[in-house]
Structure 1
Amino acid sequence: MNEPVPADAPTPAQAGEPVAVVGLACRLPGADGPTAFWNLLAEGRSAITDTPPDRRAGAPEDGYPTPGGDTAPHRGGFLDAPGDFDAAFFGISPREADAMDPQARLVLELGWEAMEHAGIPAGRAPRNTAVVIGATAGDYAELVHRHGAVGHHTMTGLNRALIANRLSYVLGVTGPSLTVDTAQSSSLVAVQLACERLRSGECDLALAGGVHLNLTPDSTRAAAEFGALSPSGRCHTFDARADGFVRGEGAALVVLKPLSAALADGDRVHAVILGGAVNNDGASSSLTTPDADAQAAVLRTACTRAGVDPAHIGYVELHGTGTRVGDPVEAAALGAVLGTAAGRTAPLAVGSVKTNIGHLEGAAGIAGLLKVVLCLSHERLVPTLHHTTPHPGIDLDRLGLHVQTQPAEWTPADPGRPLLAGVSSFGMGGTNAHLVLAQAPVPAGGEAAGDTPRDTAHNRPVVPWLLSARTPAALRAQTERLAAHTAHGTADPVNVGWSLLTTRTHFEHRAVAVGTGTGELLHGLEAAVPAAPVTGDVSRPVFVFPGQGSQWAGMAVELLDSSPVFAERFAACGAALAPFVDWSLVEVVRGGEGAPGLERVDVVQPVLWAV
């Protein structure tokens, strides 16, 4: 366990460019989106339920036999209607959509959502954007072949490589496009690979994450026969009751960008990936037995590449499957490298999202990463469930570890240092991954990146809210989602309007409302959508300049007083005219004493142009 740092390991001075997490999207058990996922975590809820009947057709009635003679019950973390897919939105025919693995459908939807969350509409992503997706399951392929439903689109629909490739195709990007399979560590390895591509300069933006769906009882039976599933139907991470995991499913993606570029572009940064590492157990005691020395090595290398002192890491999201063998090995490695690191002043907090949503296998690492990103951005630690008595093979005190079972504010031991966290994910074939993250830096001025100052109630500008969709029904759904999003009353109408106008793709069915407050704007949209939404091509703006005769006394005065943007541009026009005229543009429209009137042709034409 006291393995030295490899001679070729980078020094902190060699730490690569930090990578910013600028966009998030997820569909997880009990959580449709990052906000819902945070609520589930912060409230300490479990999303584990009975297995839906359609997922266990043909399975043993009472559960799955395990090698120890117990029975693993029909329990897990599931998505509602994982096969639902808006094929027309992506220009995919119904027949081709039916042939596509639902995992590929889910990645398309989340890829689009993640890019919009990052403020990057489709078509505006850099051409060299990378797409790296972890995926291991082939349940849908098994169903297709079992029922003899092979057709023209089967080859492309079931090939896992195309899960990443299809997203690249839809986004029109040409960077590296990879589907990664390293078993349960696949999605965290995918994120690490994406970060490496960014640091090498091979791409300027990356989408990374993972997907996993449990669609047939056969894959669950295989896990039970292997001895991995919990007879209690719960995941008891680092607990004396640890007896295996409960399966989960879902997907999550992050949008990644070099931190320097994200700050320069004014992006909202949710967290920063400082560095990471991937290795393999090699010739351990068996192919699937985890190795503490290899896990310790990947932790050390990740900290070195991140330029971080192990003693400063405040929390680690465990692989934490709740297995009798795996948990003590992971704890031993963590204790050796992080928990007992010289200079540590408090036990290392650890936890596992698997206690909330189950083990997502190929998407397990990205679920843990997303949890850490949310904890860093909220500066809060969330509870790990089902932990009461430590595993007898894990001496938490000696290892310097503390299982986080209660919600808590998260503050660094040194107020001048950012919060630091680690995320671990291990594959059953021995491929280990660990990433080191930090909370987002606060830009000069104290505002979080991507935020703008809120307007006061007494000085609210008039703003437009624009919604668009491919169908009228989708437009109505957009209105409902916007109403739900703004229901808590803290949304800034200016920020919402800006995002709707500049960070969304504009489709052929549109509705717009103009107002100053959230209630007024929502009411306008709710009235506009069923009445007469605008339809047609919106490919290019058209500028219309009115001819002489459209002027009136006092025109533009209200805009000058209510719109800072208009007033600023109008002042620029006045400054441009000033060297050539002996009158003031602003004084003319305000009807100032001594200012010429609009009846003069040499006055009205420049004024109309400026307005």
Structure 2
Amino acid sequence: MSDVMEKLVRGLSPEKRVNLARMLLRSVGESVPEKKTAEPIAIIGIGCRFPGGVSDADSFWRMLRAGTDAVGEVPPSRWDIDAYYDADPSKPGKMYTRNGAFLEGVDLFDPYFFGIPPRSAVNMDPQHRLLLEVAWEALEHAGIAPQSLAGSKTGVFIGGATGDYTQLIQGKGAESIDASYLTGSLLTFATGRLSHFFDLQGPSLGVDTACSSSLVAVHLACQSLRSGESSLSLVGGVNLILTPQGTITTCKARMLAVDGRCKTFDAAADGYGRGEGCGMVVLKRLSDAQADGDQVLAVIRGTAVNQDGHSSDLTVPNGLAQQAVIRQALADAGLDPKQVGYVEAHGTGTSLGDPIELRALGAVFGEKRDGAAALQVGSVKTNIGHLEYAAGIAGLIKLVLSLKHGEVPAHLHFKRGNPYIPWNELPVEIPTQLAPWTARDGKRVGGVSSFGASGTNAHVVLEEAPEVERKGGAERPRHVLALSARSEKALKELAGRYAKGLGEEVGDACFTANTGRGRFAHRVAVVGRTGEELREELARYASGGGVERGAEGQARKAEEVVLLFTGQGVQHEG
């Protein structure tokens, strides 16, 4: 090889070197096997609890579309902010911010629903409780009756850490600690409890890579599905802020914004705001999801994980590593950077991290983009704060919903660009208003980044769900909607939620409720010709009235069939 050629090859990226080698082999008549792209992974269900009153995917999307800022003052249920606040960052034991993004009702839990003794529930970290609830909700959103997964190769992959609740239990004194303290505190038992409760026999892993934990969990779940190790995966992350110590620590490190808000990419960015939340997605190989007739919300095309290695400091981001992980994810997806229209950025809102991240995006997506529309870049952290261990899954769910609805929500708190970001040189645009997402090459494609303070980086590439030819269902003179719960009170509350959320397209809703939800002893079924008639019956039952068109009852066992519908009438058994 000549010196000129050697220098030329040395200057190429590894990917371009491989392409050059393939070209040379073909030129001499050698056959070159084409690299197979990774099997796409379908996202078929979502469960989430985020700040701002978000309790499911629909309420999350409404909040994002409205451009809601969910940050507020630390609630008294966490700690007395007046006792810990001081504007002087150097004051020992004090925090210089009064704000964060918090969940409501994290102390509420029904242990009997999950077969947990009340004493054990007291010693169980609320993070574990949230994971149980949100996992159940994610499965039902996917149209999967949780009991149907018993004995299956369903994997559990959770980003998180042993939380603040351990400190609260320890503060009650050694006499309050029993055996349930062990299983109720460590992250490993949070994932193990999910597998135990649902009787799942796939891999069950807790992942802690700091802020990138839950997106790394997504990467591991996709690998498990593609290898055949898992047939289905529950993937998510959780983060709760229950004691002041963590906020004091991050204040001493000067990591937090004074107003508790992530002003990502803005000149006023002065740190991140802490946030709470829990998110969960249900994953399945796309081919299996299509064969089973599952709803597909979006498709994961590629994933990648890497590490910063030796940067200037342990917690300082490495722009070259960020570029590399994005390129790896795109290569895994078999996609070109110009096909990507939006990136959900890590975007913590720090004057150092934001410029590094945007420069890395510019280096990857600036290639082959001449004449193309600018890359849209936003961050959900401007709405709900930095959810730390659950940050990646929050960004992923936002991206899934954006793909599903074909819209890009507004990125908040962006008024004047960070002066350390070379805006004129970068092919990026920050969306400050809700806008339509225009497809490129016939498909909407987006990416989501999550970079851990420990140096572990993750990137996931998603594509909008493939179009499905909807076959006309049988015309029914009446629809039957059956619901069940463990108690009459819970059943009335469930009926009330259905009464508010049920639309006019009731066929699919009835099918999912009848086949994709868990079956419990307290049951009600209503019959109606239209969505309005079903809503009337549900609302009447929820408010304490009887069911006129339908029936209610209680089974002796959860598996019993209580209601028999014959023709147009209703017969009540048992």
Q: TM-score of the superposition, structure 1-length normalised?
A: 0.83
The corresponding residue for 1:113 is 137
Check if 1:95 corresponds to 2:116: no
Distance 1:209 1:482, change over 3 A: same
Counterparts of 1:453 and 1:103, CA distance in 2: 43
Distance 1:543 1:302, change over 3 A: closer
The corresponding residue for 1:500 is 513
Check if 1:167 corresponds to 2:179: no
Provide the secondary structure at the position in 1 that maps to 2:265: coil
Provide the secondary structure at the position in 2 that maps to 1:53: coil
Check if 1:157 corresponds to 2:184: yes
Q: Give the counterpart of 1:238 among 261, 265, 286.
A: 265
Partners of 2:95 and 2:247 within 8 A in 1: no
Check if 1:27 corresponds to 2:49: yes
Q: Give the counterpart of 2:364 among 315, 337, 355.
A: 337
Distance 1:302 1:343, change over 3 A: farther
Provide the secondary structure at the position in 1 that maps to 2:14: coil
Superposed CA offset, 1:362-420 (max 9, x none): 00000000000000000000100000111111112302111111111111233xx2100
Counterparts of 1:115 and 1:63, CA distance in 2: 44
Distance 1:334 1:291, change over 3 A: same
Check if 1:480 corresponds to 2:504: no
Partners of 1:48 and 1:356 within 8 A in 2: yes
Amino acid at match of 2:132: L
Provide the secondary structure at the position in 2 that maps to 1:123: helix
Amino acid at match of 2:148: R
The corresponding residue for 2:479 is 463
Distance 1:400 1:155, change over 3 A: same
Partners of 2:99 and 2:259 within 8 A in 1: no
Distance 1:241 1:511, change over 3 A: same
Residue 58 of structure 1 deviates from its aligned partner by 7.3
Distance 1:379 1:63, change over 3 A: farther
Distance 1:25 1:543, change over 3 A: closer
Check if 1:43 corresponds to 2:66: yes
The correspondence of residues 75-474 of structure 1 with structure 2, limited to 5 A, is: 75-125=99-149, 127-136=152-161, 138-148=163-173, 149-342=176-369, 345-414=372-441, 417-443=442-468, 445=469, 447=470, 453=472, 461-474=477-490
Provide the secondary structure at the position in 2 that maps to 1:55: coil
Q: Give the counterpart of 1:4 among 10, 13, 16.
A: 13
The corresponding residue for 2:553 is 534
Partners of 2:134 and 2:280 within 8 A in 1: yes
Partners of 1:135 and 1:186 within 8 A in 2: yes
Question: What are the ranges of 5 or more consecutive residues in structure 1 without an aligned counterpart?
Answer: 545-555, 563-611
Stretch deviating more after TM superposition (213-222 or 58-67)? 58-67
Provide the secondary structure at the position in 2 that maps to 1:286: coil
Distance 1:491 1:228, change over 3 A: farther
Counterparts of 2:467 and 2:81, CA distance in 1: 54
The corresponding residue for 1:568 is none
Residue 13 of structure 1 deviates from its aligned partner by 3.3
Counterparts of 2:88 and 2:224, CA distance in 1: 44
Amino acid at match of 2:39: E
Counterparts of 2:445 and 2:389, CA distance in 1: 25
Check if 1:512 corresponds to 2:528: no
Partners of 2:504 and 2:532 within 8 A in 1: no
Provide the secondary structure at the position in 2 that maps to 1:257: strand
Residue 32 of structure 1 deviates from its aligned partner by 1.4
What is the RMSD computed on CA atoms of the aligned residues? 2.6
Distance 1:38 1:269, change over 3 A: same
Counterparts of 1:12 and 1:438, CA distance in 2: 22
Partners of 1:243 and 1:323 within 8 A in 2: yes
Partners of 2:142 and 2:282 within 8 A in 1: yes
Stretch deviating more after TM superposition (474-483 or 100-109)? 474-483
Counterparts of 2:337 and 2:235, CA distance in 1: 26
Residue 265 of structure 1 deviates from its aligned partner by 1.0
Check if 1:66 corresponds to 2:89: yes
Larger Rg: 1
Amino acid at match of 2:78: R
Distance 1:44 1:524, change over 3 A: closer
Counterparts of 1:196 and 1:491, CA distance in 2: 40
Distance 1:231 1:68, change over 3 A: farther
Counterparts of 2:76 and 2:34, CA distance in 1: 53
Distance 1:394 1:3, change over 3 A: farther
Provide the secondary structure at the position in 1 that maps to 2:77: helix
Partners of 1:340 and 1:399 within 8 A in 2: no
Partners of 2:98 and 2:259 within 8 A in 1: no
Question: What are the ranges of 5 or more consecutive residues in structure 2 without an aligned counterpart?
Answer: 1-10, 23-32, 570-574
Residue 523 of structure 1 deviates from its aligned partner by 3.2
Provide the secondary structure at the position in 1 that maps to 2:179: coil
Q: Give the counterpart of 2:38 among 4, 10, 16.
A: 16
How many pairs were matched up?
Answer: 533
Residue 261 of structure 1 deviates from its aligned partner by 0.7
Amino acid at match of 2:172: H
Partners of 2:127 and 2:163 within 8 A in 1: no
Counterparts of 2:168 and 2:199, CA distance in 1: 31
Residue 467 of structure 1 deviates from its aligned partner by 1.1
Provide the secondary structure at the position in 1 that maps to 2:496: helix
